[in-house]
Structure formats: structure tokens, C-alpha cells
Amino acid sequence: MAATLARKRATLGSAPVFLTAISTILGAILFLRFGWAVGNEGFGGTLGIILLAHCVTIPTAMAISEIATNQRVEGGGEYFIISRSFGLNIGGSIGLALFLSQAISLAFYVIAFAEAFSPVFDWLNQTYGLGLHDKRLVSIPAILILSALVLKRGANQGINALYVVVGVLFISLIMFFAGTTEYEAGQTFDFMNRVENPLPFFIVFAIVFPAFTGMTAGVGLSGDLKDPRKSIPIGTLGGTLAGMIVYIFIAYKFTVSANPDNLIGDQLIMSDIAVWGPIIPIGLAAATISSAIGSILVAPRTLQAIASDKIFPNRISEWLARGKPDKNNEPFNAGLITGALALFFVAMGNINSVARIISMFFMVTYGAICLISFLQYFAADPSYRPSFRSRWYISLLGAVMTIYIMFKMDSVYAFLSIAVMVIIYVIITKTKHDKEGLAKIFQGVIFQLSRKLQVFIQTAEKDSDNWRPSMICISSDSFKRMSAFNLMRWISHRYGFGTYIHYINGYFSRDTYRTSKSELKRLINVSEKIKSNVYVDTMISPSLTSAIAQAIQLPSVSGKDINMILFEFAKDQPATIPPILENFNLVRSAEFDIAILGSSDRNFGIKSRIHIWLKPTDMENSPLMILMSYVILGHPEWGDAEIKIFTVFPEEQLTDYENELKANIKEGRLPISPRNIELIIQKEDISIKSIVNQKSRDADLTVLGFRPEALKQMGEGLFMGLDDIGDVLFINAHQGKELVTG
């Protein structure tokens, strides 16, 4: 955007920002409907409307000032701020809604401008009997002349005109305040003087609120400002606060100068109060035409900025982004579209329904700006260093009040406006390669929240009974066999935490580093496609032993200490077993629980049966074996699976072992129901492995325990001889570990 929208001579200062804002704030509603609001709500209620409205506008003005002093706000104003903070997808959807708001607001201001000619129409009708009533006789030529003026002369001429009309506007206000009425004589100030049956507060609020929404109008001139960091805060905050003060004094003047019935019955009651009555229609014309000038200066720049980011198809974006090279890249084509839209709505004459949803789009824009400021505080981005600082609670107040007021004004239109922007967002997301969107909004906040949670978990009590697996796996066969990764993602889905390390054999160098980044990208792509909760990484090391030594010292992604490691070997490749045996004692020295997965070509079958085999010598491993099986069942892919436990023991030990098993179940050391257990008596001429091969040949995962003593005695043979069954998970719990279910 920077290159496309850079103005050759950006010379505007703070005054145009202030004048654009204040002229939009002191607009048509001030002259036509604000006295009506005072008549309905009295001074006290109107003061409440002003203060409530500024709970949105002041935080928004402060948020804009904050963001503008952190980065150069280029062409597009509010759109630039939102898109560069929320990403182009969300920025584009809100930006399009913002442009429509600005363009159709231009139509509103011109229609209101035509209302200022009511006395002229009345005089012509009475004098010449012309029967003129259609205000479009004024509004349509006005929009054509205004569009032609700005398109031909550019922003500087528009600003010069703005100085004139703002001067007339302030003269009319001075004459209004200087005027007196008979009602003032002998009257005591009544804080709550209003009509007998006033309209509900929020109905009046909804009608009056658009009067206060002009404070960001000057931000749209950002690409034409010599120093946006200075001009935007001064002009925006100055216009907002000045407008609030003027409205409070005007509410007081209405209260003391006219009775509530007259305030409601005469929309140009200001003419009866002013020193010279005709100045009010003139002021109304000045206020509306100045607001219209502000809109026609800002709306094309918003559309040009959106097009420069190629939110639209390429040819349309290029055409809309094209400016006048001899006129400081003035948005000529975008100006044509703005004028055409405004002309269309002016010709319609009655656009009240459109007005309500457009007000909602403005509200969403303000809420988004406040949310940016709020999130930036918690994201703690070191590159975010604005010279002007709002406060996080002020920005939060603005965001919350925006949503609250939207739904209080009109819940149907609030839902409708949000739905329209969601639809636009979906369309943009599907057509653009940039997929930042919502992820960019919260990534900094999530980072900080994650860091604080990890520190909290790490400093929490370590001997909690609420045990859960925090597992790490290191493997060089990540892209040959997915069994270990799949087991990790099942364990990490809900109950556990997993860190998967892809091991790269070699010494650290530029080439191996680049290889590691390439392999990591492959792993992340796989993880994203299967929606895994496993944290993946790579490690370069000259030997598997040194890699394991480093891996078991890594902090867990959860903040908890790693308490378990997973090894994996292929059952049809016995050569993959020795590296595990060589490093078994190294891992045991870290007091880890150890899981060793024997992968088969069945790839966990249909994931409907888990068989657990317990032996009298396995009571130390049994709780972990059962809990790990339940953890795996927590994944939807195993949602319909069942666990069955088999116990094998010599016949002479039947009574003792059965009693011990029941006692462990009763005490909670074995979290299993007796109904899921099958007792098997071992005969002398039949090995346990033969029984396992027979009983578990149709199991999708078989879980076996093992002891270091058996591993030392049998070596590789401990993991072999189970050819008739599928995938096997061998479990060794650290000695003395207690897993109590509660």
C-alpha cells in the first residue's frame, strides 16, 4: 500500500483533521433533531446520552491516537489501522463496510442539506405558486456539483471549502447562543424538564447517536497529512472533546430557552432562539455540506486503500487504486464510485432502513479500533511503542460499550450488520492467499497468556494427585512411519501433552540447520492437516544418545515437567530395536515413565479394541497401562472402542492374586471395573506370549508391561515373538510411582 498510496506532496496539518471531525460531529442532527432529544429526555437525560455516546467515541479517539503514534498511518485511515492490526481478511471485510458507511453518509448529508432549503421552497410556493416539494431538486445537483468539485480540484480545494463552511457553522452557533426568548424570563432551571410521555431513552439515543460518530472522519486524510503521528491525535481528540463540550452547552441552551413541547414540535426551533433566525438554515446548510465534504474526501481514499491491498479481483483492484498522477495520486476512480453510490441513494430519497445498518457498521469499526488497542496492551509486542498511550481499561470500555449500544439501539440490525461482515470475510478468505485473519488478532495475546499459564503450572505443587501424561518422542523415522506421531496426537488430544522431536543425525551447520527448518515445515503441515495438538520440533545431533539427553531436558509445552518418553520400532525390522535398548538406562536415570511402541503394518486397525495384559509381576506398571489406554480412548478416532483387561497367573496363585487385584481396584489404584477383566490361568507348557498372540490377534492395540530386570535378561527378545497381533505398546512405570484416581 505504501508505494501505491504515497502522496507526492502530503502537506496537510492538524487543522484539516480537526475541522473534518468537528464539522461532521456538529452536523444535521444538531440542527434538526437535538432539540427534539432535549424535549424528550430533558437536560439530565440528554446529558446521559452525550456521556454514554462518548464512552464509545473518546476511547476510539484515544485508540486511534495511540495506534497513529506507533506507526505511520498511510492512505485509508481507519481501514489502514484495522487491516495492519487484524490482517487483510478481517481488515477488508470491515473496510468495505466502513466505505459503504462513508459513501452512504455522503448521501445523508446531502439530503439533510436539501432540508435547509425548506424556507426557500415555502417562499417560492407562496409567491409564485410553483408547488415545489421534492427536495431532490436540490440534493441531486448538490451531489453532482460536490463530486465534480472534489474530483477535479482534489483534497486541497475540498479543505479550502471546509474552512469556509466551518466558519459559517460556528457563526450560526454563536448567534444561537447569543439569542434570547420570552421563555427564559422568570424560568428556573429544571434539570429533568421534559414532555409528559417521552420516548424510551434508547430510542432517542439511537436517533441522536450518529451525531457523535464523526470524530474519526479526519483520519481518512492520513495519506495527505505531512505528519500523521502528530496531526491525527491532535485533530481527532480535539474534535471529539470540543464536540462533546459544544453539545452539552447546546443541551443547556435548549433547556432554558424553550419548553419541551416546542422543542419536539419544531425541528428548526433553533431559528426561534437565535439572534437572527435565518442564520440557522444557513448554518444547517454549512454543517451538512461540510460533513458531505468530509465524507467525499474520506470515502474514496478508503476504497482506494482497500483496492491497493488487492481485496477485489486484480483488474478491479488496479482500476479502483488508480489515482491522478498529476494530482498527488488523488483517488479519481474510487471517487467516481463514491459519487455514483451517493447519487443512487440520494435519488431514492428515503433510506432510513439503510441508515440504521450503516450506523451499525460505524459502530463495528469503532469497536474494532478499541479492541486493537486493548489487545496490543496484553500482547506486549516490543515493536509496539506509541508515543501517545491510552489505557487498556479505557479501550476495553469502548469495545464493550460499542457492542452493548449496538444491540440496545436495534438488535436485528446489529445481527444483520455483523452477518454481512462475516459473509464478506468468508468471501475474501476464500479468494485471497493471505490467511492471517483471526489468528493475527490474538497471536500476541495468546503468546502472553500461554507464557503466564506455563509459569503458573510450573510453579504449582508438583506432587498433585491429578496426574496426566506429559510425553516426549524423538524419532528419525517421522516420514517413514506415522505410528508414533499418531499415538502422540491421541494422547495429546484432551488429557495429555505431547512434544514430538524429529531427529536429524549430523553436526550443526548451515546445511543441517536449513534441513531442520524444511523438515519442521513438513511436520507442521502434517500436524495442521490432521488437527493435531502435538507440539513438533526438530533436533540436530551427532548421535541418538546425545539427542535423547538433550530432549529429556527440554521443558514441556504445557509448562509441566516431562514425565514420559515414547520410543518406536518396526516389528518387521528388528534392527530398529537396539538403539532403544542402548538408551534405556539413560532415560531411566531421568526417572521417566517409558513407553515403547512396536509398530505393525495394521496401523492400529479399526481402532475399536484395546487389550491390556497384566501379570503378577506387573502391578507397578498396571495403573499406568490402564490410564494410558483411557487417555487414548479420549480421542474421537477411538470413541467407540472398548478396553478389555487380561490377567495371567499360575493356578496355585489364583486366590492370592485375585484378592490382590480386587483390593487394588477397591483402593483406586487400578481404575477399572471388575467386569472388564478376564482371568487366565497359565499352563506350564504354554508361554504368556502364545496366550497373547491367541487372545489379542484381533486387537487394534495391545498394551503390555515390562520390567528393567526382564529387559536386562532378555534384551531384544522381550519385544519379539508377538507376530500374530498388531501394534503393541510396552509400558514401564517409574519405580514407586502411585497413580491414584481419587
Q: Give the separation between CA 111 and CA 123, rounded to whole angstroms.
A: 20
From residue 91, give the alpha-carbon distance in Å to each of 81, 356, 428: 8, 22, 10
Which domains are seen in the chain, by residue range? 2-439 (1.20.1740.10), 461-732 (3.40.50.12370)
Q: Which residues contact 414 (CB under 8 A, 6 or more apart)?
A: 360, 406, 407
Q: What is the model's pLDDT at position 488?
A: 92
The string over 522-543, giving b where at least 16 C-beta atoms fall within 10 Å of a residue's C-beta and e elsewhere, is ebeebbeeeebbbbbbbbbbee
Of residues 742 and 246, the one with the higher pLDDT is 246
Beta strand residue intervals within 415-493, DSSP E: 470-475
Distance, CA of 339 to CA of 318 (rounded, Å): 19
Residue 742 has pLDDT above 80, yes or no: no
Q: What is the DSSP string of 388-419?
A: S---HHHHHHHHHHHHHHHHHH-HHHHHHHHH
Is residue 83 within 8 A of residue 393, CB to CB? The reply is no
Residue 47 pLDDT greater than 90, yes or no: yes
Mean pLDDT, residues 604-627 taken together: 86
Of 522 and 372, the structure prediction assigns the larger pLDDT to 522
What pLDDT does 553 receive?
85
DSSP 157-181: HHHHHHHHHHHHHHHHHHHHHH---
The reported pLDDT for the residue numbered 672 is 67
Q: Given a cut of 90, is residue 607 above it in pLDDT? A: yes
Q: Flag whether pLDDT at 601 surpasses 60.
A: yes
Report percent pLDDT > 70 for the chain. Answer: 82
Instruction: Give tens-digit pLDDT for 462-471.
Output: 555 567 788 9
Task: Kindly tell me if the per-residue pLDDT of 740 is higher than 70.
Answer: no
Average pLDDT over residues 302-322: 84
Q: For residue 604, how many other CB atoms are within 10 A of its CB?
A: 21
Specify whether the CB–CB gap between 58 and 374 falls below 8 A.
Answer: no
- pLDDT of 719 higher than 90: yes
| Least confidently predicted of 85-99, 374-388, 490-504, 622-636 | 374-388
Res 228: pLDDT: 73
Tens of pLDDT, residues 463-508 = 555 677 889 999 999 888 999 999 999 998 878 888 999 999 999 9
Residue, of 367 and 155, whose pLDDT is higher: 367
- The pLDDT value given to residue 332: 81
User: In Å, how far from its chain's centre is CA 477?
Assistant: 38
b/e sequence 283-308, b meaning 16+ C-beta within 10 Å: bbbbbbbbbbbbbbbbbbbbbbbbbb
Is the pLDDT confidence value at 451 over 80? no
Is 175's pLDDT higher than 80?
A: yes
Distances from the Cα of 6 to the Cαs of 2, 99, 308, 309, in angstroms?
A: 6, 20, 11, 14
Predicted confidence at residue 300, as pLDDT, reads 86
How confident is the model at residue 96, as a pLDDT?
Answer: 84
- The Cα 264–Cα 33 span in angstroms is 9
Using DSSP, state whether 740 is helix, strand or coil.
coil
Can you tell me the distance from the alpha carbon of 678 to that of 662, in angstroms, rounded to the nearest whole number? 13
Residue 702 host element (H or E): strand 701-705
- Cα 489 to Cα 500, 592, 633, 742: the distances in Å are 9, 19, 12, 26
pLDDT of residue 265: 82
Looking at residue 435, its pLDDT comes to 52
* Dist. CA 395–CA 372, nearest whole Å: 8
Half-sphere exposure of 205 (CA within 13 A, CB side): 19
Say whether pLDDT at 4 is over 50. Answer: no
Taking a C-beta distance cutoff of 8 angstroms, is the pair 432, 88 a contact? yes
Confidence bin at 1 (pLDDT 50/70/90): very low
Instruction: Output the CA angle 213-217-222, nearest 5 degrees.
Output: 150
Which pLDDT score, from 0 to 100, does residue 107 have? 81
The CA distance from 628 to 726, in Å, is 18
Give the whole-angstrom CA distance, residue 280 versus residue 190: 26
Mean predicted confidence (pLDDT) in 555-583: 86
Q: Which of 159-168, 484-493, 522-531, 543-552 has the lowest mean pLDDT?
A: 159-168
The pLDDT of residue 663 = 73
What is the average pLDDT score of the chain? 81
Query: Residue 2 burial (CB < 10 Å; 0-12/13-18/19+)?
Result: exposed
**More confident call, 424 vs 474:** 474
Would you say residue 618 has pLDDT above 60? Answer: yes
Q: Which is more confidently placed, 702 or 86?
A: 702
Q: What is the mean pLDDT of residues 106-134?
A: 76
437 compared with 563, residue with greater pLDDT: 563
Confidence (pLDDT) at 354 = 55
- Per-residue pLDDT of 328-385, as tens digits, reads 667 888 888 888 888 887 776 554 555 666 677 778 888 888 888 888 777 766 667 7
Amino acid at 517: K
Q: Which of 14-23, 77-86, 644-653 has the lowest mean pLDDT?
A: 77-86
CA angle 432, 515, 446 (to 5 degrees): 50
Tell me which residue of 446, 467, 458 sits closest to 559, measured CA to CA. 458
Expressed in angstroms, the distance from the first to the final Cα of the chain is 60
Residue in the structure block whose three cell numbers are 463530486: 147
Of 23-37, 345-359, 544-558, 708-722, minimum mean pLDDT range = 345-359
Given a cut of 90, whether residue 143 has pLDDT beyond it is no
**Lowest-confidence segment of 1-10, 66-75, 226-235, 627-636 by average pLDDT:** 1-10
pLDDT 10s digits, 6-28: 444 556 777 878 887 887 788 77
- At 186 the pLDDT is 64
Which of the four pLDDT bands, split at 50, 70 and 90, describes residue 722?
A: very high
| Arithmetic mean of pLDDT, 598-611 | 93
* pLDDT at site 3: 42
Distance separating alpha carbons of residues 368 and 85, to the nearest angstrom: 10
Mind listing the pLDDT tens digit for each residue in 676-685?
Answer: 788 888 777 7
Q: How far apart are CA 692 and CA 699, in angstroms?
A: 10
